[in-house]
Amino acid sequence: MSVDEVFFDRVAHDLRGELSTMLAGVHYLLRFGRDLAPPTREMLERVSGAGERLTRMLAEFDDAVWLLDTKKPLVLAPLRFGDLLDEVMTRIEPTVKTRGVRLILEQTDADAAAELVGDVDILATALTSIVDLATLRAPSGTVHVTAETREGAPIVRVRDEGDAVPKDVLARLFEPFVEREIVPRETHGRRKLRLGIGLPIARAIFEAHGGSLVVESSDAGLTLRGVISLRKASEIPPEPEKARAASG
């Protein structure tokens, strides 16, 4: 583990611990503080909301190691395409309910059963970040997630019903913090819901899997296409212990 990775890991871990303690106290008061005056309860709810937003931003900070030259090691394993998408839907479900967004997943049984090789946790992190951004761009609207396999390659498209993105912004979309420019101001105002590095992190994760993340041209909304490579289970490097045992 490099010094940079240690820094991100240590800072994010310590901040999450303190934040979790703070939120636990706030949630306890909101649940059991029956005699709270309305202004006090309102302030506690605002602190709770700020804490939840900060939690999401810390998650991005923790994953920012993917923007460094030294990447996190991948834990590669065979998995079903459908299982990966199920994990993403489970992670994003609370956010979808909170924002009043309609999320539609389109996939055939054959595509869901397709096998790929990857790090399910890391890939789910990338896809969840992309869908999360789409829900911010389409408040009370619909986000379409389409999964297919083309020539054996797993492909995911995420399309929102937000405003069209100007071409000059699209050209810079995968630069840090640019994604803030494509979220309606009334959605976040002064309270940022993301650091603004989710898209470059997601692209780095897809590329680490031998794939890609690109923008597809569209007259309205924003469509992002993620492709995962055609690795086979036989390409997974053996764990050191197993390799030594196999060598005798």
54-109 pLDDT tens trace = 777 777 878 888 888 777 788 899 999 999 999 999 999 988 988 889 999 999 99
Percent of the chain past pLDDT 70, that is, above it, reads 85
pLDDT of residue 169: 93
pLDDT of residue 108: 95
Helical (H) or strand (E) element with 145: strand 142-150
**Top mean-pLDDT range of 4-13, 155-164, 186-195:** 155-164
Mean pLDDT of 176-186: 84
Give me the chain's average pLDDT, please: 84
**242 pLDDT more than 80:** no
Band of residue 158 on the pLDDT scale cut at 50, 70, 90: very high
pLDDT of residue 235: 61
Band of residue 186 on the pLDDT scale cut at 50, 70, 90: low
Q: Which residues contact 58 (CB under 8 A, 6 or more apart)?
A: 12, 15, 16, 19
Q: Which of 111, 125, 104, 115 is nearest to 205 (CA)?
A: 125
pLDDT of residue 60: 81
pLDDT of residue 187: 47
pLDDT of residue 238: 59
Band of residue 232 on the pLDDT scale cut at 50, 70, 90: low
pLDDT of residue 246: 43
pLDDT of residue 206: 94
Least confident of 41-45, 106-110, 153-157, 230-234: 230-234
Q: Which of 25, 117, 5, 21 is nearest to 66 (CA)?
A: 5
Mean pLDDT of 168-190: 81
Give the integer Cα–Cα distance in Å for 61 and 159. Answer: 25
pLDDT of residue 129: 94
Mean pLDDT of 131-147: 90
**13 pLDDT more than 80:** no
pLDDT of residue 91: 93
- What CA–CA distances, in Å, run from 174 to 6, 37, 127? 25, 46, 15
pLDDT of residue 4: 61
Q: Which of 185, 192, 189, 100 is nearest to 143 (CA)?
A: 100
